[in-house]
Structure 1
Amino acid sequence: MDKRLSVIIPVWNEKATIAAVIRECFKLDPAAEVIVVANGTKDGSREIAQREGAVVITIPYPLGHDVGRSVGARRAAGDLLLFLDGDMVIPAAQLAPFIAELHRGADIVLNAYNGPVGVKHAHDVVVAKHVLNAALNRPDLEGWSLSTVPHAMTREAALRIGIEHLAVPPLAHAMAVHMGLKIAAAPRVPVGKLNPLRSHRRNGDPTGRMMLGDHLEALDWLLQRTNPRGLRHDYGRRRDEVRG
């Protein structure tokens, strides 16, 4: 039986790009269910999405980062879920490998994008992604993350993680890896060029601080389910011998 595709696209005032984003989704699969979560948008994005044939979920106020993913995934009827952002137009040819990997048996497919790593001072969030994967004993995943679009997963994987947890992508990522879900990667989509990572030296970078908090939440979840060292060996350190 053919598996139906649902594409989830949170939107907040993205009238300049949303039509093109939706058109690429229908090029990928003309029968796809394209769900736009219009949260607090006031620039006509919602009306544009409706004209382009998307199912639009209208929330009258901004939901905050990534919450739209959970809202859209809960509404989705598809067996396969593809997550995009409304401000990045990604050609259908670059989206197709994500769906192909799901058909080949992957539970989750990540964008093989590491962010800018060949620099003297990598962004804190880039470092955090690498640290989380190392803590999960999956350094082979490098900086790949559910924080980065595009990514895709089966409905079964979303339900195992808990659809509500998709609102905090690093937490969902930690859960997926810890559960042993099969994770694959599609060829790198250079989303940094489409949506440049903000410098942590400008405007205090509130999004960066939020994402660091997300990664700390994911690490805390992992430590609670393993031990205070994340199952790392203490190599016979006799801490009880320390006297005050």
Structure 2
Amino acid sequence: MGARVLHYDEPLGHDAGRAVGAAAAAGRALLFVDADIRIGGSDLKPFVSAVLNGTDVALNRYGGPVRLRHPHPVVLAKHTLNTFLGRPDLSGASMTTVPHAISRKAADCIGTSNLSVPPLAQAIAVRSGLKVAAVHEVPVGRMNRRRGKHNGQDLLQQVVIDDHLRAMEWYISHTDSRAGFTDLGRDRDRVGR
């Protein structure tokens, strides 16, 4: 049907396909989905439309279940990163969650290689002043297949949490030791006098 298919004999690793696909893409809007989640066109169109109408990063508004007694660590990581980036309005919306779309301008600004670490890409987008918005909710939490555990551990969960920590580390290195937050009037120089 005219699609350009990129095929690799070996698995590229978690989220690496995003970077490879974005580098090969030629469109004005790049739409990111996962092959194992079926999402209808009516739920994909808002992301592409948002980008074509000036949004640089159009995120899935889905933030995960937060009202649980013990929210999932990945859900907490997404909310924490957005607060850390000074964007609590995004709640749990994240470039980790599909579907989402970005503009060609965003891909160039973020750097396609950085798309392989979605939270880092999001931190770069926010820090660069790109227009980032949660535009439409697709409840992928119910659609996503349950991944197996290895020796009782969810290995993908740790990868995603580590990606969020990497994004926070990058953000601190590009702002200041407090990531741009004030010390709320504390005079820490007086400690120890």
By relative contact order (CA 8 Å, sep 6+), the higher-ranking structure is 2
TM-score range (shorter-chain normalised) is over 0.9
Do the aligned partners of 2:23 and 2:112 also contact (CA within 8 Å) in 1? Answer: yes
Higher gyration radius (CA):
1
Return the offset for 1:117. 1.2
The answer as to 2:99 corresponding to 1:150 is: yes
The answer on 1:64 being equivalent to 2:3 is no
Gapped regions of structure 1 (runs ≥ 5): 1-51
Q: How far off is 1:236 after superposition?
A: 3.8
What residue in structure 2 maps to residue 23 of structure 1? none
Query: In structure 2, do the counterparts of structure 1 residues 120 and 199 end up closer, same or farther at CA, with 3 Å as the change threshold?
Result: farther
**1:130 aligns to 2:79 (yes or no):** yes
Match of 1:180 among 129, 151, 164: 129
2:55 to 92, 106, 123: 106
Say if 2:34 and 2:98, in contact at 8 Å, map to a contact too.
Answer: yes
CA separation of 1:197 and 1:236: change in aligned 2, threshold 3 A: farther
Matched position secondary structure for 1:130: helix
- Aligned partner of residue 184 in structure 1, secondary structure: strand
Structure 1: how far apart are the matches of 2:139 and 2:148? 17
Please tell me whether the aligned partners of residues 59 and 93 of structure 2 are also in contact (alpha carbons under 8 angstroms): yes
Instruction: Measure how far apart 1:103 and its partner are.
Output: 2.1
Aligned pairs (5 A) from 1:1-244: 53-196=2-145, 203-243=152-192
Deviation of 1:143 after TM superposition, in Å, equals: 0.3
Q: Deviations over 1:144-200 (max 9, x none)?
A: 000000000111110000110000000000110111111222321011111056699
* Aligned CA distance change for structure 1 residues 228 and 192 (closer, same or farther; 3 Å): same
Q: Is the 8 A contact 1:123 1:200 kept in 2?
A: no
Matched residues, percent identical? 48
1:214 partner amino acid: D
Structure 2 gaps, min length 5: none
Q: Deviations over 1:97-137 (max 9, x none)?
A: 11111122111100010011121100111001111000111
Inter-CA distance 227–202: structure 2 relative to 1 (3 Å threshold): same
Query: What amino acid is aligned across from residue 69 of structure 2 in structure 1?
Result: K
Between the two proteins, the alignment pairs up a number of residues equal to 193
Tell me how far apart the structure 1 counterparts of residues 185 and 45 of structure 2 sit (CA, whole Å). Answer: 50
Shift of 1:219: 0.2
* Alignment TM-score, normalising by the size of structure 2: 0.93
* Two-structure CA RMSD over aligned residues (Å): 2.0
Q: What displacement does 1:223 show?
A: 0.6
Q: Any idea what the Cα deviations from partners look like across 1:66-123, whole Å, max 9, x if unmatched?
A: 0001001111111111011110110011111111111221111000100111211001
